[in-house]
């Protein structure tokens, strides 16, 4: 077989496996938000405490993502991207199976913390591998495919939890992870990483980020541009039953349904954002357009009094499209830094964005108690969108940037 054809086959396999890995990652990441009400009711949580207990468990999971993002990112740069993929998949698969047997809130929360640590490694390692393996003018397509296929994990999570018991849904997620481990066999390490690994340059060292002011600001800006996405999914969609009551909804809004439709929308948005970036040769412009669209869709949601469950499904899809710049945002982060800390950045940035839901939740509750849930949502969406736009303006365009360089 010709070398070029063999290389194309390897790249195709790598993109496919990374996409399926992200599929399982999203399934396990969102399964709690989807089964929150059913599972908490069964273990004895009163309806009045449903939102607070749910936020506690979700914050534990997000805390795990923060810890795991740092852990797997550093390990990915020190020991290779492939090793991180295997370790992270194994950890979150075991945790999700255990979640199928919990009987109290604290056990539930601590196991979600462990699952969060495991889940933190999948996306960053996969995107780093794809970015470093594909040509600079085509890698946007590769990361777009990973995100689009992966985000349908939310659809699978919704369907499994709809037709089966919530405990079974967790166990299915764990089993999908174990199956994915078998698919990982045969994938190859990034050539750029292999070259760096043979040198004596410092790898996976957080001091390279924290010890340089310009580099640290660039890193923080990468995190800030992703915050609106997780506010929409983690607050507006996940707490849709509560928002429905405030909006006088004609029927109970189903968070599981909302998450499923929003992630279908995110997949569509990822395609549109990726194509827009390829057409304009600007990832920054694509993200700016989607930030503005997202703000408009959220305003429609917060003004939709008397919304029906069917209308909510459509609106969740539209809001998903609005924040469908996830793959483009992660690619921007990956392209901003050298090979010796690229996995650290690409793994920690999306997980710090997910983890930003913790302070966002506390700030949201602060405003809920002083005003109401709708006003609090207005304050937060305008704030995080403005912050994201300012952060985006501080980053350089990296569309066709050569990634074969180091951070000294």
Which CATH number covers residue 119? 1.20.1250.20
How many percent of the chain have pLDDT more than 90? 25
pLDDT tens column, 318-359: 999 999 888 788 888 878 877 777 777 877 888 788 778 888
401 domain residue, yes or no = no
Is residue 406 domain-resident? no
Number of structural domains in the chain: 1
Q: What is the pLDDT of residues 359-373, one digit of tens each?
A: 888 899 999 999 999
Residue 185 covered by a domain:
yes
Structural domain boundaries enclosing 82: 3-393
Cα–Cα distance between 93 and 66 in angstroms, integer?
18
Does residue 404 sit within a domain? no
- The answer to whether residues 388 and 291 touch, using CB atoms and an 8 Å cutoff, is yes
Contact 306, 247 (CB under 8 A): yes
Position 251 in a domain: yes
pLDDT tens-digit profile of 225-277?
Answer: 988 988 898 889 988 888 999 989 898 888 888 888 888 888 888 889 888 98
| Within a domain: 400 | no
Q: What is the mean pLDDT of residues 285-308?
A: 93
Q: Is residue 275 one of the residues assigned to a domain?
A: yes
Helix 3-42 to helix 81-99 angle (10° resolution) is: 20
Q: Is residue 133 part of a domain?
A: yes
Q: What is the pLDDT of residue 82?
A: 67
């Amino acid at each position: 077989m010709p070398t070029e054809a063999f290389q194309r086959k390897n790249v195709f396999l790598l993109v496919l496996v990374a996409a399926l890995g992200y599929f399982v990652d999203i399934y396990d990441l969102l399964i709690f938000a989807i089964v929150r009400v059913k599972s908490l009711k069964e273990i004895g949580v009163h309806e009045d405490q449903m939102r607070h207990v749910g936020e506690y468990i979700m914050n534990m999971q997000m805390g795990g993502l923060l810890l795991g993002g740092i852990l797997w990112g550093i390990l990915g740069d020190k020991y290779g991207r492939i090793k991180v993929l295997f370790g992270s998949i194994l950890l979150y698969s075991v945790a999700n199976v255990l979640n199928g047997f919990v009987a109290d809130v604290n056990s539930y929360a601590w196991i979600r913390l462990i699952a969060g640590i495991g889940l933190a490694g999948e996306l960053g390692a996969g995107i780093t591998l794809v970015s470093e393996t594909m040509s600079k003018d085509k890698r946007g397509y590769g990361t777009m495919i990973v995100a689009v296929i992966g985000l349908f994990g939310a659809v699978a999570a919704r369907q499994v939890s709809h037709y089966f018991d919530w405990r079974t849904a967790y166990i299915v997620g764990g089993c999908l992870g174990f199956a994915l481990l078998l698919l990982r066999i045969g994938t190859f390490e990034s050539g750029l990483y292999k070259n760096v690994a043979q040198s004596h340059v410092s790898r996976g060292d957080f001091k390279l980020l924290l010890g340089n002011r310009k580099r640290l600001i660039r890193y923080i800006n990468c995190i800030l541009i992703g915050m609106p996405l997780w506010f929409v999914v983690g607050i507006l969609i996940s707490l849709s039953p509560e928002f429905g009551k405030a909006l006088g909804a004609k029927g109970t809004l189903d968070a599981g349904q909302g998450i499923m439709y929003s992630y279908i929308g995110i997949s569509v948005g990822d395609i549109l954002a990726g194509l827009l970036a390829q057409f304009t040769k600007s990832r920054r412009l694509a993200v700016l357009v989607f930030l503005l669209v997202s703000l408009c869709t959220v305003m429609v949601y917060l003004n939709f009094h008397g919304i029906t469950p069917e209308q909510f499904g459509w609106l969740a899809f539209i809001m998903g499209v609005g924040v469908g710049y996830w793959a483009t945002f992660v690619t921007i982060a990956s392209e901003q830094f050298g090979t010796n800390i690229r996995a650290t950045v690409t793994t920690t940035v999306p997980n710090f964005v997910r983890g930003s839901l913790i302070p966002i939740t506390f700030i949201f509750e602060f405003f809920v108690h002083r005003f109401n849930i709708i006003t609090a949502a207005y304050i937060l969406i305008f704030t995080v969108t403005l912050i994201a736009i300012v952060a985006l303006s501080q980053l350089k365009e990296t569309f066709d940037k050569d990634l074969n360089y180091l951070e000294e």
